[in-house]
Amino acid sequence: MRRPGRAKESRLTTAAHDEPDPHGETDPDGCDPRSAPAPHGKPETRHALTVLGAGVMGVGITVLALGHGLPVHLVDLDRERLDRAVDRIGGELRLAELMGALPAGTAPGTLVTGTSVKAAADATAVIEAVTENAATKAGVLSEISAHIRPGTPLVTNTSSIPVDELAGALERPEDLVGTHFMNPPYLIGTAEVIRGTRTGEHTMAAVAALLGALRRNAVVVRDAPGFVTSRILHPMINDAARVVEEGTATAEAVDTLMQGCLGHPTGPLRTADLIGIDNLVDSLTVLHERTGDDGCRPSELLLRLVREGRLGRKSGRGFYDYS
């Protein structure tokens, strides 16, 4: 039951911008976060997230966390994207609440946005959801690890890049784990957790505690390109696009058959539009480069849609028109 006195429309309690730290190295209390002791034994019970990347997944993960009462510091390079993200987060929080996807009676967490990772010093976990590019991710993970306490879990939400590959860029590879939230994270109750060969026990315990606080069901898998879900789903969507490209059927016919005959919830091409076709092409490229599987080479149709700016729901048009 909802707590008395809390307005329904006030799920997004605060949307503030952080201030750049003029000294660059220390937190607001003047403590160097890197000298704090590493947490051992029990995982954190207090959660405060830093989410990197205010795109499709950064927004969705932020909604999930705020809706479960966790404070979030959302970081993106692009100030305009952050401003748009704040509007989308407000709308998606209301939608998630209407759909009964959030725990009733939980006061929403506080949202702060900013363009610098330095303000992440107090985070109990960092979730990275930046563009699916190994060099970009390695750079941003390595940068933020210098500003957080050793032992703070660094969670990459990569679709396909092996966790071990990203861990190679870090001084503390034991702090890195993969958690592949699906889109939208607040509606999909199961998350794939990828344990790299160097992921530490403390990180596994901390990510389990975090997913517990977010009421997600975790399935732990071994590290590999695309893990389980992307390794299966993304080549299947690529094949669906090839069927359209070859003129065998329209996108609508492919989706109707996959829904009606095979029980796919939306059809693979509607899923492509939900994922974002640019992100799908990036993920397929990662898979193709790392597995050599020709089924993962992005189809000409997907590449053309990206060239034309038809990125799916996020741009208003992909296989379908959302205008």
Q: Is 24 annotated as a binding residue?
A: no
Residues 223-242 that bind ligand NAD (CB under 6 A): none
Report, in Å, the least distance between residue 161 CB and ligand NAD.
Answer: 7
Helix or strand (DSSP H, E) at 52: strand 49-52
Q: Does residue 71 belong to the site contacting ligand NAD (CB under 6 A)?
A: no
Cβ proximity to ligand NAD: between 76 and 175 the closer is 76
- What is the sign of the dihedral through the CA atoms of 36, 194, 64 and 184? positive
Per-residue mark of binding to ligand NAD, 25-64 (x: CB under 6 A): ---------------------------xxxxxxx------
Lookup: tokens for 25: 């190295």
Say how far apart CA 178 and CA 59 lie, in whole Å: 18
Cβ proximity to ligand NAD: between 43 and 275 the closer is 275
Given 92, 132, 174, 175, the residue binding ligand NAD (CB under 6 A): 132
Q: Does residue 315 belong to the site contacting ligand NAD (CB under 6 A)?
A: no
Partners of 127 in the β-ladder: 51, 155
Q: Is there a catalytic annotation at residue 180?
A: yes
Q: Is 118 annotated as a binding residue?
A: no
Report, in Å, the least distance between residue 114 CB and ligand NAD.
Answer: 10
Which has the closest alpha carbon to 161: 123, 189, 132? 132
Cβ proximity to ligand NAD: between 75 and 202 the closer is 75
Cβ atoms 279, 157 nearer than 8 A: no
Asked, as a colleague might, if the bond just before 235 is cis with ω within 30 of 0, I would say no
Which has the closest alpha carbon to 18: 156, 112, 89? 112
Given 89, 130, 244, 284, the residue binding ligand NAD (CB under 6 A): 130
How far, CA to CA in Å, does 294 sit from each of 235, 238, 287, 290, 297?
Answer: 9, 11, 9, 11, 5
Partners of 190 in the β-ladder: 217
Cβ atoms 91, 75 nearer than 8 A: no
Per-residue mark of binding to ligand NAD, 244-273 (x: CB under 6 A): ------------------------------
Cβ proximity to ligand NAD: between 157 and 203 the closer is 157
Pair type for strands 176-180 and 72-75 = unpaired
Cβ proximity to ligand NAD: between 43 and 194 the closer is 194
Q: Is 263 annotated as a binding residue?
A: no
Residues 143-172 that bind ligand NAD (CB under 6 A): 157-159
Angle at 163 between CA 162 and CA 168, to 5 degrees: 105
Cβ atoms 156, 170 nearer than 8 A: no
227 — phi, psi (to 5°)? 55, -120
Lookup: tokens for 178: 């993969």
Q: Does residue 279 belong to the site contacting ligand NAD (CB under 6 A)?
A: yes
Q: Is 42 annotated as a binding residue?
A: no
> Residue 201: which residues within 8 A CB-CB, separation 6 or more?
none
Residue of 47, 147, 180, 288 marked active site: 180
Given 10, 13, 14, 131, the residue binding ligand NAD (CB under 6 A): 131
Cβ proximity to ligand NAD: between 106 and 136 the closer is 136
Question: Which residues line the annotated binding site for NAD(+)?
Answer: 53-58, 76, 132, 137, 159, 183, 314
Q: Footprint of ligand NAD on this chain (CB under 6 A)? A: 52-58, 75-78, 81, 129-132, 136, 140, 157-159, 180, 182-183, 275-276, 279, 283
Q: Which residues are catalytic?
A: 180
Question: Which residues line the annotated binding site?
Answer: 53-58, 76, 132, 137, 159, 183, 314
